[in-house]
């Protein structure tokens, strides 16, 4: 089995799949792990991103135990957290959650943390936290009303998807853009490459 066919992505996120495809990586399996993502009392956003990404990777590792088809696989997990100061914004599932988040983000800076966790074929665990600072313009009532009507906020950390309409809200971004989408590519590929995964194998076919 080729190296690029041995990556298990412990996520069902279409955005993460698309980002990996952008750099020629197609996971052999998608294994979304259903964890309780509720922050612990006084938990820092960075710590939450680290804990959830590690938890997803460990859950995927436990799920493939004894599966000969998964032998020699790399397991990649990630979790993205949006925060204003220490206040963690939920993944918006209801319109009022998205509305509250957008009103909070309007005209101010926030941070996006993504925890990446990689389990290697010899079961070493490698982690990284990536931090991006984003500033939104001041949103009008009409901006918020029509963005909510678009539905692009649904299921998104902080109630927005930067790769869609909300990209027009950003006046300044410091750090990794792909981190805000959901998977920081440079750091992810660096982690994979450092553990022997051939990230260049399919570039000539891209």
d(CA 119, CA 195): 9
Q: Are strands 7-9 and 125-136 parallel, antiparallel or unpaired?
A: unpaired
For position 1, what pLDDT does the model report?
37
Q: Are strands 7-9 and 29-30 parallel, antiparallel or unpaired?
A: parallel
Q: Convert the pLDDT of each residue in 184-198 to its tens digit.
A: 999 999 999 999 999
Which pTM does this prediction carry? 0.92
Q: Convert the pLDDT of each residue in 25-66 to its tens digit.
A: 999 999 999 888 899 999 999 999 999 999 999 999 999 988
Helix, strand or coil, per DSSP, at residue 1: coil
Mean pLDDT across 79-89: 96
Whether 34 is a known active-site residue: answer no
Q: Convert the pLDDT of each residue in 60-80 to its tens digit.
A: 999 998 888 888 899 999 999
Please count the other Cβ atoms lying within 10 Å of the Cβ belonging to residue 199. Answer: 17
Q: Can you count the helices (H) and strands (E) in the chain? A: 6, 7
Structural contact between residues 84 and 105, judged by C-beta atoms closer than 8 angstroms: yes
- Residue 205 pLDDT exceeds 80: no
Which of the residues 79, 96, 122, 131 is marked catalytic? 79
Q: Convert the pLDDT of each residue in 141-181 to its tens digit.
A: 999 999 999 999 999 999 999 999 999 999 999 999 999 99
Helix runs in the chain, H state only: 14-22, 45-63, 95-105, 141-150, 177-181, 185-194
The tokens describing 188, both together, are 């992810």
DSSP letters spanning 66-122: T-GGGTT-EEEEEEEEEEETTEEEPBP-SHHHHHHHHHHHTTSEEEEEEEEEEE-TT
Q: Convert the pLDDT of each residue in 100-146 to its tens digit.
A: 999 999 999 999 999 999 999 999 999 999 999 999 999 999 999 99
- Residue 5 pLDDT exceeds 80: no
Helix runs in 91-205, H state only: 95-105, 141-150, 177-181, 185-194
For position 71, what pLDDT does the model report?
83
């Amino acid at each position: 089995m080729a190296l690029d066919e041995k990556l298990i992505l412990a996520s069902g996120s279409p955005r993460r799949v698309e980002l990996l495809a952008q750099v020629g990586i197609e996971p052999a399996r998608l294994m979304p792990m259903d964890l309780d993502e509720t922050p612990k009392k006084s938990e820092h956003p960075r710590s939450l991103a680290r804990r959830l990404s590690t938890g997803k990777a460990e859950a995927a590792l436990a799920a493939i135990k004894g599966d000969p088809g998964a032998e020699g696989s790399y397991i990649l997990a990630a979790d993205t957290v949006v925060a204003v100061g220490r206040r963690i914004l939920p993944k918006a599932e209801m319109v009022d959650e998205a509305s509250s988040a957008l009103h909070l983000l309007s005209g101010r800076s926030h941070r996006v943390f993504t925890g990446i966790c990689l389990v290697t074929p010899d079961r070493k665990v490698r982690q990284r936290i990536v931090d991006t600072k984003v500033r939104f313009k001041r949103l009008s009532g009409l901006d918020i009303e029509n963005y909510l009507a678009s539905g692009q906020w649904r299921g998104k950390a902080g109630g927005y998807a930067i790769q869609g309409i909300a990209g027009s809200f950003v006046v300044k971004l410091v750090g990794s853009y792909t981190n805000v989408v959901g998977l920081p590519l440079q750091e992810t590929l660096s982690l994979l490459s450092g553990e022997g995964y051939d990230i260049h194998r399919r570039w000539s076919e891209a």
